[in-house]
Amino acid sequence: MNKFYQNKVVWITGASSGIGEALVQELAQTGAKIVLSARRKEELERVAKENKLTSDNSLILPLDLENYKDFDKDVKKVIQKFGTIDVLIGNGGISQRSLAHETGMVIYESLMKVNYFGNIALTLAVLPWMREKKTGWISTISSVAGKFGVPLRTGYSATKSALTGFYEALRAENRNENIKVTLIYPGFIRTQISKNALTKENKKQGVTDEAIEKGLDPNLCAREILEGIASEKLEVVIAGLKEKLGIFLHKHFPKFFAGFIAKTKVT
Active site members? 156
The three state secondary structure string of 181-212 is EEEEEECCECCCCCCCCECCCCCECCCCCHHH
3-state secondary structure of 68: coil
Residue 140 and residue 88: Cα distance in Å, rounded? 8
The answer to whether the beta carbons of residues 99 and 152 sit under 8 Å apart is yes
CA distances from 162 to 146, 155, 157, 168, 252 (A): 8, 11, 9, 10, 22
Taking each helix axis from N to C end, the angle separating 154-173 and 118-133, rounded to the nearest 10 degrees, works out to 10
Residue 200 and residue 97: Cα distance in Å, rounded? 7
Residue 89 and residue 93: Cα distance in Å, rounded? 12
3-state secondary structure of 14: coil
- Classify residue 153 by its DSSP letter: B
> Nearest Cα to 31, choosing from 59, 68, 69, 57?
57
Residue 6 and residue 1: Cα distance in Å, rounded? 9
> Nearest Cα to 10, choosing from 109, 67, 87, 84?
87
